Structure 1
């Protein structure tokens, strides 16, 4: 059975940087995020890796893994939220102590999603794909982002529903900060390859496709073993987001996943909005989605609230989800069972 952590009121947040740390010129911005969390009643403990960044990483792979392991085993830390993602989290996986992990939430996205998926596949502990801590530095959060707390405070055996956002952020405007961090200006519209309404259900798994594709063929990507142990023949329902891949690189990655058996027991696939997805020739991302839907004979939903074009829904790796899309609006009901 999937093991679901629980976020208590007044919990202590451990902030460690398993991928990128915070460069000196952004320390004040990061400190603001920590103080906001403290005002909301949380305690915050920051590891050493948070404050350093050199050669595309916060520190050596061993130091990053050691600090993460220590926080996972520290009874005084209730949840781990990295400052943000990065580039080279995959270096730490061989040093992670999967055998001695406390059952606590890890929340994040981007490069962090490689760690989230690896932990769920290796241990059966649910992990949370959603906001990072830097994006919680505003006076308030938009309705979609703010749901992270309610989702992570859902009891085992209970369910929680989330809705597609009203609007999304087209581009980052760091030079014009707003009270809720994001500048939500564009109407959100969830789409399907069939152009029809869709209902689909299955066990959620996913993350940033740029990085989780590299788990294939490693001890951290044994999907079939995980499904056999934890899914009771239930299908996977994948969610992906594309940070920086062209349409052909995205296609290659999805074909690799298919050939590796990742889509063998799969009820549907969801893709987040992306500012990447650059066409190669006249090969568009819609072409990629339609081809995949035809090959796998499953529904594909896209432009959902997930990833680097915020805001984003909090997806729980391992939770059983029912997803509905109709007239551009979406709902995700997650069951912690």
Structure 2
């Protein structure tokens, strides 16, 4: 089951209802305080926020898989809910992808599903099976952070009616620990970084100007979908009128495992129709005999595709939100480092 007929949720507006549920890990202690603050932050900006029952942070997941799948299905199919966002990621959202009621969702109007990390395990099949655009952006706990120059807040991207242009922010940031300040709204700056084009040959080896439909997520989670009915990106891409732009980012696996996962995605056809690959900034460890950069080049260098390295699209904040299914143009040329997304 795949659907290459893309459907975009209506633009998100203040006054709309946002559902909060955790398809993976819940919240407790200082983390729960942060989630409560984030809910009130959204309410303070005019959104009607409803919190589901699957939020318990005492275990690995917020509830049994059947319960999490049912609540996610209910929220996504509820016409009064315009957007669903989790508190954050987790470890095993893959246990619910075959429990979601796909027939119910196929009959519903598309709803925004927003988040990153383990939520990518759900974002990808929602896009490839239903054709719904999904938003790889901040989880709820990150939503109150101020957006640096060049980037867009996920709320603004989900509410866009015109193309959205984002540019290299130059910022490498870090989270403020919940126990230090659960009400933080400013990233902790830890350094500077710039997008870079890897490899290539010829006079234009350091330049990129490509367009395609976005799809991707956290390497450690989406790699487990490859070769299953919930991650058939090859079939989805074959039904599109445009090529794809695949984006990936590593959480915390060392470089050799990341290399394996990327080869697995390559062998499963994830890059067969790609015009480029975007790679997120990472602090995941190197292997004694392979760096994270070398892992990417080893697995993807043979594709003869431009690879744009060190984007703000993952586990190193700030976050550059991307819409799976959006038509994107990526330009890296001298001082121009930008991505434009058109929702539709």
Q: When the two structures are superposed, what TM-score results if normalisation uses the length of structure 1?
A: 0.92
User: 1:240-262 CA deviation, whole Å, 9 max, x = no partner?
Assistant: 11001111111111111111121
Q: Which residue of 2 aligns with 1:275?
A: 283
Answer yes or no: is 1:218 the counterpart of 2:223: no
Shift of 1:188: 2.6
Shift of 1:28: 1.9
Number of paired residues?
A: 330
Unaligned runs of 5+ in 2: 200-204
User: 1:122-179 CA deviation, whole Å, 9 max, x = no partner?
Assistant: 01110000011111235x4444665212211123xx4221112131215654454485
Q: Which residue of 2 aligns with 1:180?
A: 185
Distance 1:71 1:299 in 2: 38
Q: Which residue of 2 aligns with 1:330?
A: 337
More helix by share: 1
Q: Which residue of 2 aligns with 1:85?
A: 89
Shift of 1:208: 0.4
Q: Which residue of 1 aligns with 2:263?
A: 255
Query: Is the 1:190–1:329 Cα contact (8 Å) retained in structure 2?
Result: no
Distance 1:30 1:110 in 2: 17
Answer yes or no: is 1:153 the counterpart of 2:159: yes
Distance 1:316 1:98 in 2: 21
Q: When the two structures are superposed, what TM-score results if normalisation uses the length of structure 2?
A: 0.90
Answer yes or no: is 1:20 the counterpart of 2:29: no
Distance 1:280 1:147 in 2: 34
Cα RMSD after superposing both structures? 2.0
Query: Is the 1:116–1:128 Cα contact (8 Å) retained in structure 2?
Result: yes
Name the SS for the 1:334 alignment partner: strand
Query: Is the 1:191–1:328 Cα contact (8 Å) retained in structure 2?
Result: no
Q: Which residue of 61, 75, 80 corresponds with 1:57?
A: 61
Name the SS for the 1:186 alignment partner: strand
Q: Is 313-322 or 284-293 further displaced after alignment?
A: 284-293
Distance 1:9 1:28 in 2: 23
Distance 1:171 1:48 in 2: 27
Answer yes or no: is 1:71 the counterpart of 2:79: no
